[in-house]
């Protein structure tokens, strides 16, 4: 009888966690954990942390966070236990935090990176993207050498299908690189290109 009760409790936690994964980071951080102990416990499930969008939460509560942005990002990346599939980092994110995410979350399928991060260390960003073999979608807001970016993606990211770049320089060589290196691309958005 006791085993059945434990199993029902586990099923209840799984159901709660399945619901909580759809509510967004703000609710997961500021509301759900404070309802009751079972909701708090369910909110710690890695499935609640598959989508990590730090931009809104860090922008909205910029002056109220006591800890550094990097520690904040690392703490919630850790909650995903490496299972995160979507990542959107804020402009205040450092290269150190990005390296940490690249190492801890190798299964990322979609990522949006801030222009500040890409502009400061484009070669390092490209090197770290190589770790995401499951990457399907990438969004960047920065001037970056498209050929240099797509070369490792074509080698390491076999499911890559979507590229959004804002503010890049797209000349003939960049256009040829897109056609040559990611021929299976399904969505291409080049906004504010030169």
What is the residue whose two structure tokens read 């085993």? 3
Taking a C-beta distance cutoff of 8 angstroms, is the pair 98, 89 a contact?
yes
Do residue 32 and residue 77 come from a single domain? Answer: no
Do residue 57 and residue 148 come from a single domain? Answer: yes
Whether the predicted pLDDT of 179 surpasses 90: no
**How far, in Å, CA of 57 to CA of 93, rounded?**
13
**How far, in Å, CA of 44 to CA of 49, rounded?**
8
Do residue 124 and residue 164 come from a single domain? Answer: yes
**Beta-bridge partner residues of 110:** 86, 137
**Mean pLDDT over all residues of the chain?**
80
**How far, in Å, CA of 175 to CA of 92, rounded?**
31
Whether the predicted pLDDT of 37 surpasses 80: yes
Cα angle for residues 157, 158, 160 (degrees, 5° grid)? 70
Q: Is the pTM of this model over 0.85?
A: no
% of the chain residues with pLDDT over 90: 8
Do residue 36 and residue 59 come from a single domain? Answer: no
- 98-145 tens-digit pLDDT: 888 888 998 999 988 877 777 667 777 788 888 889 999 998 876 677
The total domain count for the chain is 2
Instruction: Report pLDDT for 63.
Output: 44
Residue span of the structural domain in which 4 resides: 1-46
Q: Which residues contact 72 (CB under 8 A, 6 or more apart)?
A: 54, 58, 65
Do residue 65 and residue 81 come from a single domain? Answer: yes
Whether the predicted pLDDT of 186 surpasses 90: yes
3-class secondary structure, 6: helix
Query: Which pair of structure tokens corresponds to residue 147?
Result: 């050929």
Do residue 16 and residue 73 come from a single domain? Answer: no
Do residue 99 and residue 60 come from a single domain? Answer: yes
Do residue 106 and residue 132 come from a single domain? Answer: yes
- 45-78 tens-digit pLDDT: 888 888 888 877 765 655 444 457 778 788 888 8
- 47-56 tens-digit pLDDT: 888 888 887 7
Query: Which of residues 120 and 5 earns the better pLDDT score?
Result: 120
Do residue 56 and residue 40 come from a single domain? Answer: no
Instruction: Report pLDDT for 2.
Output: 55
């Amino acid at each position: 009888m006791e085993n059945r009760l434990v199993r029902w409790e586990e099923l209840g936690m799984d159901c709660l966690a399945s619901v909580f994964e759809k509510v967004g980071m703000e609710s997961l951080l500021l509301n759900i954990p404070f309802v009751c102990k079972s909701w708090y416990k369910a909110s710690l499930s890695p499935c609640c942390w598959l989508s990590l969008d730090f931009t809104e939460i860090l922008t909205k509560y910029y002056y109220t966070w006591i800890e550094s942005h990097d520690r904040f990002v690392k703490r919630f990346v850790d909650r995903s236990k490496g299972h995160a599939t979507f990542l959107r980092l804020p402009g205040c994110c450092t290269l150190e935090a990005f390296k940490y995410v690249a190492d801890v979350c190798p299964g990322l399928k979609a990522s949006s990176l801030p222009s500040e991060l890409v502009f400061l260390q484009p070669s390092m960003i490209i090197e770290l993207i190589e770790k995401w073999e499951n990457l399907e979608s990438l969004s960047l807001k920065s001037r970056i050498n498209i050929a240099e970016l797509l070369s490792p993606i074509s080698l390491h990211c076999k499911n890559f299908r979507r590229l959004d770049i804002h503010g890049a320089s797209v000349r003939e060589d960049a256009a040829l690189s897109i056609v040559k290196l990611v021929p299976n691309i399904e969505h291409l958005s080049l906004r504010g290109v030169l």
